[in-house]
Amino acid sequence: MKQPSKPWRPFTANCCSTEDQTILGNFSRCKPSSRSDLSKDVAPLPSFRRLSFSDLSRSSSVRINEDLAQSFGSDLYDLQLSELRGITQNFSSNYLLGEGGFGTVHKGYIDDSLRQGLKAQPVAAEVIFLGQLRHPNLVKLIGYCCEEEERLLVYEFMPRGSLENHLFRRITSLPWATRLKIAIGAAKGLSFLHGAEKPVIYRDFKTSNVLLDSDFTAKLSDFGLAKMGPEGSKSHVTTRVMGHLTTKSDVYSFGVVLLELLTGRRAMEKTRPKTEQNLVDWSRPYLNSSRKLRYIMDPRFAGQYSVKGAKEMAHLAQQCTSMNPKDRPRMPTIVETLEKLEPFKDMAITSGHWPASPKSRNGASNKVKIDIRVGANHRKPSPTSSSICPTFTNNLNPWSGDLRLAEFSWNRLQFFPHQNPPVPLKIAVFSRKWPIGTTPGGMERHAHTLHTALASRGHQVHVFTSPPQDETTSISSSNHHQAGAPSSPFIHCHEGEPGRWRYNKAWEQFQEENQREPFDVVHSESVAVPHWLARNLSNLAVSWHGIALESLQSDIFQDLARRPGEPLLPSFNQTLQGVVPKVLNEIRFFKNYAHHVAISDSCGEMLRDMYQIPSRRVHVILNGVDEDEFREDVELGKEFRAKIGIPRNAGLVLGVAGRLVKDKGHPLLHEAYSKLITNHPNVYLVVAGSGPWENRYKDLGSQVLVLGSMSPSMLRAFYNAIDIFVNPTLRPQGLDLTLMEAMMSGKPLLASRFPSIKGSVVVKDEFGYMFSPNVESLLESLEAVVKEGPERLARRGKACREYASSMFTARKMALAYERLFLCIKDEAFCTYP
């Protein structure tokens, strides 16, 4: 008795090119195919109806091959079974790609330039449909094999896999524009099928059947089995509500996929509370209003989506999933509607108020996965020291939405400033200095910027600090409040020597105010509160602007920066002897602090991994700068150049700011620049700062302009006058505010390659250059900058400004701290969004 033939199995491969004769030379019956019109139907639909499933099951292989060739024309390759077995090692599990809609998928290699895959099929219908229906948004049939009892199909390889994998099985998130592109492509594919001479009903359209090529172009797979194949997956919501299948059944399924693209949720999830298991039912109340819609948008967007576009897509999804098929739009109308959304560029970055997570009756919140990475073109850095910096990526576990477990910087999340906070907080701040009457340092500027912003949002902020260094400044020692500014912080200056911090005096003032009305949260700038006092404060959060382990690295880098032949500094051993015990002490007493705020991603990793502080007590919030004070102003820059004496024909203007000391890397910059101007005398260096290296810079000649210390308002003109900002620091701890100020002013960066900088600031190639902390590497980078020129640097600056405006604003920093402080007060605020 003759054994029945095995089912058809499609075989995936890249589309044939003009070099197919060479690539496919092993195939004895390979014929180059015509590529004149990829979207053209190969034959009219009636011609393939003459081969029914029963015809194929009874016919010989020879007859099948002849019929297929006649039906499909010369666009298909007739392949040998032995060759397909050879390249897949007889369909070995080692070559298994995964599961398709109707069987397993295998991968094989013919040549370096052609990848292929195989999957099992129980019927022959896909041969007919894939071969006759050609469209850019349908998976393309390339060839077939009918030998012995095997039935194989060869179709194009889709390198990015399925939409399902990208939406639900990966940490990396698809951005809004990509999701819209996929929706449009899938809609075009369905529209083509519905518009065929004999309309093709997909039957089980879902994310697993939407495949993506290298450019994220969507192509539909498994559509050939629409009406002849097995029943659709009962896990998909459409199978239980559609009844009689029509093209409107596919429209409903497409609406479900639109909801999945908007929310990041599956159509059916049995693991969720009962009221949230069905995506269509759960989302329906939120689709009519853009205000409500943001409650259910995929949190992985982090606000980076078009508000108008999302609203229109949600309305379209609601129409598609109408229970009355007559109310559902046709696919051509859907394509037209989606294409109109492409020009929308509005982004919900800083609008509205953070929404409470939609919860079920039992309080279960929406669990999400989030993307922490700021760049998409991650690659290994070039071996040359002057190569543009690599993109930062962080391979994190899926995030549950609990802010206490977020191992990425909160700046990557979206917080909404336009509505008042849910509850006003009483906040105590311990800061060694408060910037009054002096040019503030980075820590003081951070404290001032942050807590002034929090006070302006209605929180009652009390700052406990040392007396001002400027003795002419009159400030009350307690409960001082600036007249005419009711939203500014209360400043409590303890008694004593101006500028000298006395924590015991400040602690007494704090206790007195705390007894009057308890504080909701206490914030310390670094170790302003000693650990033996901190252990008594369960509501304390400490922002670490540097930790001893990072300081130890800085000392090592400074020693490595010695000139050849220069002896080891005697102070180096003394420094190491002093820092190592400090590291050990930190490891011991850091556990006394309830919450740790790291100001860089790398510092957060160090606190978690090296100091072994539980993740839920370590929070990464990057510094922020005043986006109104530091902004791009070309005319201001020109005026400042003329004022300080830079000639109009200057080839390039470099800028550096901050304290001019050794650990800031000024010995490196001094030597590298002195060598640079021997070949490039038209390159100028503007130095905004003071310190021991001030006079040494002046000795380099007229190309160096040393301006001394500058206030933040003066720095704005400085940043706008330069072409690129240089940060040669040898201190890996913390993040210098000048980096963020320069980016906010629209300037690219040339910075030391330290984890804190490359992991949190210069996270994209376009943002500038990075170098190893030595003269040779810095000089090489400077040469690359000179070669690039001001015009290219200006384009880099535009990208820097755009990124800084979404990440490094004082508003973003203040909102992140506000959310942390609310979380400390009440765990109900710990769930994002």
Q: How does pLDDT run across 282-309, given as a tens digit for each residue?
A: 999 999 887 789 889 987 787 788 889 9
Strands 210-212 and 218-220: antiparallel
Type of residue found at 383: P
Is 281 a residue of the active site? Answer: no
Predicted pLDDT of residue 578: 67
Q: Are 812 and 624 in contact (CB under 8 A)?
A: yes
Predicted pLDDT of residue 712: 73
Predicted pLDDT of residue 576: 63
Q: Does the pLDDT of residue 530 top 50, yes or no? A: yes
56-70, 251-265, 359-373, 548-562: which has the minimum mean pLDDT? Answer: 359-373
Q: For residue range 468-504, what is the model confidence (pLDDT) as tens digits?
A: 876 555 444 334 444 334 478 999 999 888 888 999 9
Supply the DSSP string of 723-750, one letter for each residue. Answer: SEEEE-----SS--HHHHHHHHTT--EE
Which is more confidently placed, 248 or 755?
Answer: 248
Q: For residue range 345-378, what is the model confidence (pLDDT) as tens digits?
A: 656 443 333 344 444 433 333 333 332 222 233 3
Helices (H), 517-547: 531-534
Sign of the C-alpha dihedral, residues 66, 71, 72, 74? positive
Which is more confidently placed, 506 or 571?
Answer: 506
pLDDT tier, 237 (very low <50, low <70, confident <90, very high otherwise): very low
Predicted pLDDT of residue 64: 44
Q: Are 301 and 176 in contact (CB under 8 A)?
A: yes
pLDDT tier, 652 (very low <50, low <70, confident <90, very high otherwise): very high
93-107, 326-340, 667-681, 730-744: which has the minimum mean pLDDT? Answer: 93-107
Compute the C-alpha angle 653/654/659, nearest 5°.
140
Tell me which DSSP letter residue 707 carries.
-
Predicted pLDDT of residue 328: 96
Q: Are 737 and 629 in contact (CB under 8 A)?
A: no
In the chain, the percentage of residues whose pLDDT exceeds 70 is 68
Predicted pLDDT of residue 551: 64
Rounded Cα gap, residues 14 and 733, in angstroms: 49
H or E element at residue 704: strand 704-706
Predicted pLDDT of residue 197: 77
Which of 292-298's residues contact partners 24+ apart within 8 Å by CB, and which partners?
Answer: 293/262, 294/348, 294/352, 294/355, 295/355, 295/356, 295/357, 295/358, 295/833, 296/262, 296/263, 296/358, 296/366, 297/262, 297/263, 298/173, 298/262, 298/263, 298/264, 298/265, 298/368
Overall size of the chain counted in residues: 833
Average pLDDT over the chain, rounded to whole?
Answer: 75
pLDDT tier, 765 (very low <50, low <70, confident <90, very high otherwise): confident
Rg (C-alpha) for the chain, rounded Å, is: 32
Active-site entry in 20, 78, 204, 213: 204
Which is more confidently placed, 767 or 577?
Answer: 767
Q: Does the pLDDT of residue 213 top 50, yes or no? A: yes
Which is more confidently placed, 555 or 356?
Answer: 555
Which is more confidently placed, 254 or 128?
Answer: 254
Predicted pLDDT of residue 123: 35
Q: Does the pLDDT of residue 749 top 50, yes or no? A: yes
In the chain, the percentage of residues whose pLDDT exceeds 90 is 39
Name the β-bridge partners of 36: none
Q: Are 688 and 640 in contact (CB under 8 A)?
A: no
Predicted pLDDT of residue 76: 60
Using N-to-C axis directions, what is the helix angle for 737-744 and 712-721, rounded to 10°? 60
Same fold, 403-624+813-818+824-830 and 634-808: yes
Predicted pLDDT of residue 106: 61
Q: Are 208 and 223 in contact (CB under 8 A)?
A: no
Q: Are 366 and 401 in contact (CB under 8 A)?
A: yes
pLDDT tier, 832 (very low <50, low <70, confident <90, very high otherwise): confident
Q: Are 267 and 279 in contact (CB under 8 A)?
A: yes
pTM for the model? 0.55
Best-predicted range by mean pLDDT among 231-235, 431-435, 667-671? 667-671
- Three-class secondary structure of residue 494 per DSSP: coil
Tell me which DSSP letter residue 16 carries.
P
Q: For residue range 403-425, what is the model confidence (pLDDT) as tens digits?
A: 998 888 999 888 877 778 999 99
The residue-averaged pLDDT of 5-15 equals 44
Place of tokens 């929308």: 344
Rounded Cα gap, residues 828 and 824, in angstroms: 10
pLDDT tier, 243 (very low <50, low <70, confident <90, very high otherwise): very low
Q: For residue range 139-192, what is the model confidence (pLDDT) as tens digits?
A: 877 777 777 777 776 677 788 888 998 898 765 678 899 999 999 999 999 999
Rounded Cα gap, residues 398 and 403, in angstroms: 13
Q: Does the pLDDT of residue 646 top 90, yes or no? A: yes
Nearest to 236 by CA among 257, 210, 251, 215: 257
The residue-averaged pLDDT of 438-452 equals 79
Rounded Cα gap, residues 297 and 303, in angstroms: 9
The residue-averaged pLDDT of 270-289 equals 88
Helices (H), 653-698: 666-679, 694-698
Predicted pLDDT of residue 190: 95
Count of other CB atoms within 10 angstroms of residue 487: 16
State whether CATH 3.20.20.70 applies to domain 8-156. no
H or E element at residue 337: helix 331-339
pLDDT tier, 109 (very low <50, low <70, confident <90, very high otherwise): low
Predicted pLDDT of residue 156: 76
Which is more confidently placed, 534 or 18?
Answer: 534
Q: Does the pLDDT of residue 117 top 50, yes or no? A: no
Q: Does the pLDDT of residue 709 top 80, yes or no? A: yes
Helices (H) and strands (E) in the chain, counts: 27, 22
Rounded Cα gap, residues 712 and 147, in angstroms: 78
Which is more confidently placed, 724 or 204?
Answer: 724
**Which residues in 281-432 belong to E strands, given as ranges?**
426-430
Q: What kind of fold does domain 403-624+813-818+824-830 have according to CATH?
A: Rossmann fold (3.40.50)
Q: Does the pLDDT of residue 386 top 70, yes or no? A: no
Q: Are 748 and 796 in contact (CB under 8 A)?
A: yes
Predicted pLDDT of residue 784: 95
Strands 652-657 and 683-688: parallel
Best-predicted range by mean pLDDT among 344-358, 372-386, 509-523, 719-733? 509-523
Name the β-bridge partners of 141: 155
Q: Does the pLDDT of residue 32 top 90, yes or no? A: no
Compute the C-alpha angle 633/635/636, nearest 5°.
65
Domain boundaries, the chain: 8-156, 163-339, 403-624+813-818+824-830, 634-808
Structural domain 163-339, CATH architecture: Orthogonal Bundle (1.10)
pLDDT tier, 647 (very low <50, low <70, confident <90, very high otherwise): very high
The residue-averaged pLDDT of 558-567 equals 63
pLDDT tier, 609 (very low <50, low <70, confident <90, very high otherwise): confident
The residue-averaged pLDDT of 750-766 equals 88
Identify the CATH homologous superfamily for domain 634-808.
Glycogen Phosphorylase B; (3.40.50.2000)
